[in-house]
Structure 1
Amino acid sequence: MSVDNLSGLAEHNEEIVQDVLQIVEDASQIYKLPVEELKAKIKAAGADKANEQGMFYALNSVDMGAPKWTYVAARFYLNQLYTQASENRAYSRSLKYGSLYKLIQKLTEENVYSSKLLASYSEEEINELQRAIDPEKDKLFSYIGLFLLADRYLATDKKKNVYELPQERFMIIAMTLMMNENRVKRLELVKESYWALSNLYMTVATPTLSNSGKAFGQLSSCFIDTVDDSLDGIYLNNWDIARLSKDGGGIGIYFGKVRSLGSAIKDFEGNSSGILPWIRSINQTAVSVDQLGQRSGAVAVYYDVFGKDIMRFLDLKTNNGDDRNKAHDIFTGVTIPDLFMQTLEETDENGKSIGEWHVFCPYEVKKFMGWKDEHGNPLGLEDFYDEEGEDEKYFTEKYREAVANPLLPRKTYRAMDIMARIMISQLEKGVPYMFYRDEVNRQNANKHIAGRGRTSIFCSNLCTEITQNQSPTLIVEEYKDERGYNHIVRKPGDFVVCNLSSINLPKAVRANVLDRLIAIQVRMLDNVIDLNTIPVAQAQDTNQKYRAIGLGTFGWHHLLAIEGIYWESEEAVQRADELYEEIAYHTIKASMELAKEKGAYPVFEGSEWQTGEYFRRKGYDSPRHVELQEQIREHGLRNGYLMAVAPNSSTAKIGDSTDGIDPLYNVEYAEEKKNFKFKVTAPELDHVNYEYYRKARHELDQKWSIRQNAKRQRHIDQAISFNIYVRHDIKAKELLDIHKTAWKEKLKTTYYVRSTSQEEIEECEMCHS
């Protein structure tokens, strides 16, 4: 719409005024809010400032007594977006949404959108999809949700001018993810995906939300690599993570195979500098190679509690000691076997912990112990884990063999001294994460790749919810071709990729749409695998090999509150059990249905999905589970890994709900990030559900949270981003008891330990699906 002449400007301003007055009227009628003062301020502001004045008035009015002002503020903000988009795209503002086809044309010309959209969809098809766009769905957003969506994810032109609107972002995502589907049913699948997104029944991961349809960036959230004990392995890992980080991927790295400080190099004793210099190098890569110009790279490094450099590793992020031995910008995680936790429980007659713990260099273990795999390759302690049976304690047996070998160098500590160092770092910096390696590998549905007792999963990702098979990539040959070009031949390892999406529990459960929603959600995730262009070849290969996805959830506390269930209750524990069993059933079924249509993942044969061991281990023996198991045996499963619960911070706010499985911070608080600070309240807060929100997260008994999560974990084939919330003055014995409880309840991982004294922890945006 042109506003160059005075009459056009007057008409334009009149539209704005009418919309603003309608919002005020709706606030009075729908939300029962007092609006007389607001009306007066708007009249005084005039057309140019009416939206802005209304928005700030509404934002400043949000509190426990009137939480619905957030939706009024969102409506004013929407009005601004509609105005700016209509001006930039030259259509009548009264339409709210202009031509989708012209939008795609324009942003394709600007090289913002990928040319694949126009190549894949005809103008007629795009026009049909435009008719499915429902502007009324914009009214579902709270202010903070709309602000985050507009600020971080809506496509603009190169000058950052507003072009794309919220429902168009959802439609572009749907079009992108269904691009390669059969044309006979493709438009219906696009509309079904749009239905799921526009109703806020689900969200996609940050990279998918941001990069779908774009000419740049990839769609997956996180990647996990295993570093080989060689100079080539270390530097090539650094190169790989730099390439992934620049496209917006969060990184998890396992460093437990790299030789420790003082070990031999080429038989020269005492020459190894250990893992710290290499981790510091990765820290510098994370800082130097930023993610799409928006933030520093995000990397988590994991190390074994039985590794010889463990104490130095635990001091990487603490404030004390020599800063030359620090890596302040990476995150840390410790992989812990059952035997270590059992050793913590060894006490004398006075109850003092006396258990000894020996730590070894992985290179020296291979050198002195002589363990080999079936191909003659040397094995270390990290290559074994304990199964359930007493005769299957593979790690424990190998650890005791190592301890008994008088030639094998080691350091010996009181196990409690190591645990104390872990807890000190957690209270100061929130990390290290805890990775219970035996439980992770016991529950691995694809352990057939390495075999029982042989470690397939060495660590998790940046947010501790991904647990998939991994192995190092090796250089096997270097040669010069006939042109004189030098080549390095790498034997690819399993380089993990996580593709995430999450169910908005309050909205989906209340609407009773879980079965319909999960069916389309799993298809969307599966399509990400084929659409993605990952710059690291072995990651691309692994993505296709396992076709792993991570369907998760957010809004758990929100759901409990609207269902009238106290967090600290048996009812909440039982609700977690039954709800996640239902989600798991529909997820497995959806993947089976996709396998019927498109085929099973390449290494399905021999997996616990194929043998039925997965169902037996979970106790899934109901008639519907028995039938599903038989269908999987016949048709296969499309995805080797299925479920993972990510933190869901940013996109949970877009969905107008609570983060992941976390309890709410408080009933009313200030939400603050780098470029905003808003007052927010618990979602859908009223005088009835206030009772179920009112206890702040640090006041809750963490053992109730652990018990809920244990029930949830039973049904999740991967892991869960599970934060522990404690007061800053917690006693060491109490925190230790929390960790022991988590281990005994068979949690696979725990994420941050968040104490009331910590500053805001910088988190990875990539997994906030």
Structure 2
Amino acid sequence: MAVSSARTDLAHDGPFRVVRRDGSVSPFDATKISVALTKAFLAVEGDAAATSSRIHHLVAELTARVETSLRRHATTDAVHIEQIQDLVELTLMRGEHHKVARAYVLYREEHAKARDITPVEPDPAYVDWARVERVVAEAVAGIEDVSAAPVLAEAKRNIYDGIGAGELATALIMSARTLVEQEPNFSYVTARLLLDKLRGEALTYLAGEPRQAGHRELDYPGYFRAYLRRAIELDLVDRELATFDLDRVVAAIRPERDLDFGFLGLQTLYDRYFLHHDGTRFELPQAFFLRVAMGLAIREDDREARAIEFYELLSSFRFMTSTPTLFNSGTTRPQLSSCFLTTVDDELSSIFQAYKNNALLAKYSGGLGNDWTPVRGLGAHIKGTNGQSQGVVPFLKIANDTAVAVNQGGKRKGAACAYLETWHIDVEEFLDLRKNTGDDRRRTHDMNTANWVPDEFLRRVEADADWTLFSPDETPDLHDLYGTAFSDAYRAYETAADRGEIKVFRRVRAVELWRRMLTMLFETGHPWITFKDPCNLRSPQQHAGVVHSSNLCTEITLNTSLDEVAVCNLGSVNLAQHVTPAGLDTEQLERTVKTAVRMLDNVIDINFYTIPEARSSNLRHRPVGLGIMGFQDALFALRLPIASAEAVEFADRGMEHVSYYVIAASADLAAERGRYASFEGSLWSRGILPIDSLRLLADAREGDALDVDYSSTLDWEALRARVRATGMRNSNVMAIAPTATISNICGVGQSIEPLFQNLFVKSNMSGDFTVINPHLVRDLKARGLWDEVMVSDLKYFDGSLGRIDRIPADLKALYATAFEVDSRWLVDAASRRQKWIDQAQSLNLYLDAPSGRKLDELYRYAWHKGLKTTYYLRARAATSVEKSTLRGTDGKLNAVPTVPVLETIGDTALACRIDDPDCEACQ
């Protein structure tokens, strides 16, 4: 069982110190782990295990795993003895030595009972315990159901003679996060303790001498001025920010919002977003939000007023821009765009230019979608050499390695997705790219892949007809055709092949190819299934080009050509901040959307473009992609189970309002700033809005191939007239991205995702974090059901309520997890949203017990429901919460991570882990 991990470097490769329970410190000795493991095997297998070579080698292997994990995840050179023992237990569980692990657990419990555990009182000579108590008291202040006592008691266990200030701060954080699984509100306590560490780190760095300040003691305006001066000196921040009226701007800072973070959100910001120098963070949360806001307002007429408006939206978590914008806004290299889509031509110069473009775009955090369909297939004639082509696959291997080499400044891996149309002669080899077997020179283990599927293929699947594969050098116009024009040309090429006029082609049974596509999706998670015709037939920009692919996360559908690299600029409205128990707060939503669209439009003009094709395309068409996140949290607030007609209706009405407000906001900007250059001839210019373009798809589909809802509630006719008269500032305005990272920052569920589990460990590039559904915990507390037994039950049943007898039926329905929900409910909700969206949605699908029939039915259902794209397929077979302690699982600060949620099992792993760090480029 191979555990997926975003980290391959060792955090510590030097000597370790072990902190014992009495506070004493001794050198790390791996032989003691070997002895403990041997005793555990002896307890299970008897004395014969002592002389068994198998056991000897197994113990050595397990000991090495423990030490490697310890060094990989530790952040200091001192580790507590119990954390090592936790890791030994986990290693046994991962190795499926369950009986031995149980013997080891019993051994630990017996010795714990036998010991007289007396906390070591800290020596005032090396610990300012009075300050520790003040810091913890401040951390728990105002938070329900938490207290300082357990944090202090746990901290005393981890304090040792000679502990440094940084290690002491880490010890407090680690002490608080061990309590999260029993009480979710300790996540806020842990975040505040991390915040105290960050304040000390930042103030000390700026002052040049040790400084500490409690939350109420911090002079935020004074700090911000010092921070900005230093950031400019280091060439990290644009000098233009210093020309703002700082008195006016800093007066808007809301220091109390530093306390709104959960641990996962703040740790993510700490590890990857805050400005730092030589590894020392000196940017505090509100400074971070204000820096981003000022960067986005830098070209506004009243810069200060707009910066304050933008800051208010970001710091309240009502809206969050994508990760590249958060990384780079206000800096000296403001590459703020999220996604780049390219088309690769069938020439060596174009192919190698594509590699260079990928590298330049990925360098500053861009996610890539590459259309490789024009490249001729295996066996096609090469006129220049009178030879035969090796096909597209060898070139994809180089693209894969480029993505690995350019790792976005060390902040996250380069990320790309290759798209290929289903008629390409190399499609069957393309399907195998992510397999773990076969010729590794023809595999792309690090690059995502996606099928670009025309409607004609699905019609033939349903008719059980043949399908013909071609090389694009002999059928060049198929790449640019869609709808009935594609079908007519495709059939004409089939006839030409029958006459012997086409040299490279192959006939397959459409159902067999479809089955293989779904089989590879099941086995490797790739290629994803995306639909060419809905993306083009409903594109507002079909007069200006063709959508040849989507992006890395399948939500962007923009035109590409050899001259234009499509760019999209993303951000997401936090839907959870816009609902009350009474329903959607439409007035606040309208205000949020109007400001958000302005922020995204500003990105286009401020942006640092690394290649000219991206700059010219973005300035000409000005696309943005406003999406949503926290959908599941909104349903919890409304008490609506996700598997219900009411939830589907909420998805419809909620997206209708977002769509209306986004289009209206872009029209307002057109009146103020001018319409985008290619507006004339677009669907917008003809008064055809996204809801209207649904009819264009219906006209192109035959019979009952489209099953969609056309209902609406708002005054769309008035908006149509306004758009025709005023124009639009942006060619495209909506797209729902996965929001894996920015949702963590805001403390809500990502994007439109269903609840994964009610208790699990979230793994990302910042580490492993215990996550408990706080909505569920509040309900269980209200009904007197939250206790240690419930925590144990949630672990045992993998975060599911279904088999916990004492949970009432209404809570089981409300808090049903992703694998307990029929994915057709998710498709239904997505279909209702899609009618309002001019681009697409990152839609993950879940199957509890996958089968060929279920996969076939689900993906054809998605096609019939008018979806443009789908994203990952996730299946329970690749997931589990281990039945061991979750103590000590949170974050990079933790020396020993324990429970990763999703693991890869050989060649049959289904898709990526939840919150796979490799899938965050849009976020």
Q: TM-score, normalised by structure 1?
A: 0.87
AA matched with 1:599: G
1:646-665 matched pairs, under 5 angstroms: 646-665=737-756
Residue 22 of structure 1 aligns with which residue?
Answer: 138
Correspondent of 1:568 among 635, 643, 651: 643
Q: C-alpha separation between the residues in 2 aligned to 1:106 and 1:501?
A: 29
* Mapped pair 1:212 → 2:302: no
Residue 664 of structure 2 aligns with which residue?
Answer: 589
Q: C-alpha separation between the residues in 2 aligned to 1:636 and 1:620?
A: 25
* Mapped pair 1:644 → 2:731: no
Residue 590 of structure 2 aligns with which residue?
Answer: 515
Contact 1:16/1:47 (8 A) holds in 2: no
Q: C-alpha separation between the residues in 2 aligned to 1:242 and 1:767?
A: 14
AA matched with 2:173: M
Cα displacement (A) at 1:448: 1.6
Correspondent of 1:31 among 144, 167, 170: 144
Cα displacement (A) at 1:41: 4.9
| Cα pair distance change 1:596/1:152, threshold 3 Å | same
SS at match of 1:411: strand
Cα displacement (A) at 1:447: 1.1
Contact 2:145/2:183 (8 A) holds in 1: no
RMSD across aligned positions (CA): 2.3
Correspondent of 2:456 among 324, 328, 339: 339
1:118-197 matched pairs, under 5 angstroms: 118=242, 121-122=243-244, 125-157=245-277, 159-182=278-301, 185-197=302-314
Residue 491 of structure 2 aligns with which residue?
Answer: 400
SS at match of 2:342: strand
Contact 2:140/2:147 (8 A) holds in 1: no
* Mapped pair 1:59 → 2:129: no
AA matched with 2:150: E
Q: C-alpha separation between the residues in 1 aligned to 2:576 and 2:714?
A: 28
Contact 2:632/2:642 (8 A) holds in 1: yes
SS at match of 1:112: coil
Q: C-alpha separation between the residues in 1 aligned to 2:223 and 2:337?
A: 29
SS at match of 1:307: coil
Q: C-alpha separation between the residues in 1 aligned to 2:404 and 2:630?
A: 32
| Cα pair distance change 1:17/1:622, threshold 3 Å | closer
Cα displacement (A) at 1:413: 0.7
Contact 2:374/2:472 (8 A) holds in 1: yes
Contact 1:647/1:767 (8 A) holds in 2: no
Correspondent of 2:621 among 520, 531, 546: 546
Contact 2:272/2:411 (8 A) holds in 1: no
What does the per-residue CA deviation read over 1:541-573, in whole Å, with 9 as the maximum and x for residues that have no partner?
000011000101111111111211111111111
Cα displacement (A) at 1:622: 6.3
Contact 1:356/1:414 (8 A) holds in 2: yes
Residue 110 of structure 1 aligns with which residue?
Answer: 234
Contact 1:470/1:496 (8 A) holds in 2: yes
* Mapped pair 1:617 → 2:693: yes
What does the per-residue CA deviation read over 1:130-176, in whole Å, with 9 as the maximum and x for residues that have no partner?
1111111112111101110111101112x121211001100000000
Q: C-alpha separation between the residues in 1 aligned to 2:864 and 2:638?
A: 29
Cα displacement (A) at 1:666: 0.1
User: Tell me, which stretches of 5 or more residues in structure 2 are unaligned?
Assistant: 1-124, 695-709, 781-810, 879-903, 905-911
Residue 745 of structure 1 aligns with which residue?
Answer: 865
More deviation in 537-546 or 397-406? 397-406
* Mapped pair 1:440 → 2:516: no
More deviation in 416-425 or 264-273? 264-273
SS at match of 1:345: helix
Residue 695 of structure 1 aligns with which residue?
Answer: 816
1:60-75 matched pairs, under 5 angstroms: 60-63=178-181, 66-75=183-192
Residue 598 of structure 1 aligns with which residue?
Answer: 673
* Mapped pair 1:466 → 2:556: yes
| Cα pair distance change 1:535/1:243, threshold 3 Å | same
Q: C-alpha separation between the residues in 1 aligned to 2:268 and 2:445?
A: 28
| Cα pair distance change 1:716/1:616, threshold 3 Å | closer
SS at match of 2:410: coil
What is the total number of aligned residue pairs between the two structures?
A: 698
Residue 351 of structure 1 aligns with which residue?
Answer: none
Residue 434 of structure 2 aligns with which residue?
Answer: 317
More deviation in 426-435 or 505-514? 505-514
Contact 2:530/2:870 (8 A) holds in 1: yes
Residue 357 of structure 1 aligns with which residue?
Answer: 467
Contact 2:343/2:561 (8 A) holds in 1: yes
What does the per-residue CA deviation read over 1:64-114, in whole Å, with 9 as the maximum and x for residues that have no partner?
x52211111111111111222222223772215343222111111111212
AA matched with 2:730: N
SS at match of 2:281: coil
Q: TM-score, normalised by structure 2?
A: 0.73
SS at match of 1:535: coil
| Cα pair distance change 1:315/1:39, threshold 3 Å | closer
| Cα pair distance change 1:41/1:228, threshold 3 Å | closer
* Mapped pair 1:289 → 2:406: yes
Residue 708 of structure 1 aligns with which residue?
Answer: 829
| Cα pair distance change 1:687/1:271, threshold 3 Å | same
AA matched with 1:18: R
Contact 2:622/2:732 (8 A) holds in 1: yes
Cα displacement (A) at 1:655: 0.5
AA matched with 1:275: V
Q: C-alpha separation between the residues in 2 aligned to 1:763 and 1:623?
A: 39
Contact 1:658/1:683 (8 A) holds in 2: no
* Mapped pair 1:80 → 2:207: no
User: Tell me, which stretches of 5 or more residues in structure 1 are unaligned?
Assistant: 1-8, 347-353, 367-379, 387-392, 451-455, 473-492
Q: C-alpha separation between the residues in 2 aligned to 1:16 and 1:216?
A: 40
Cα displacement (A) at 1:345: 1.4
Q: C-alpha separation between the residues in 1 aligned to 2:219 and 2:134?
A: 14
| Cα pair distance change 1:630/1:426, threshold 3 Å | same
Correspondent of 2:482 among 365, 385, 397: 385
AA matched with 1:673: N
Correspondent of 1:629 among 720, 723, 743: 720
Cα displacement (A) at 1:706: 0.4
Q: Percent same amino acid at aligned positions? A: 33
SS at match of 1:358: strand
Residue 568 of structure 2 aligns with which residue?
Answer: 498
AA matched with 2:398: S
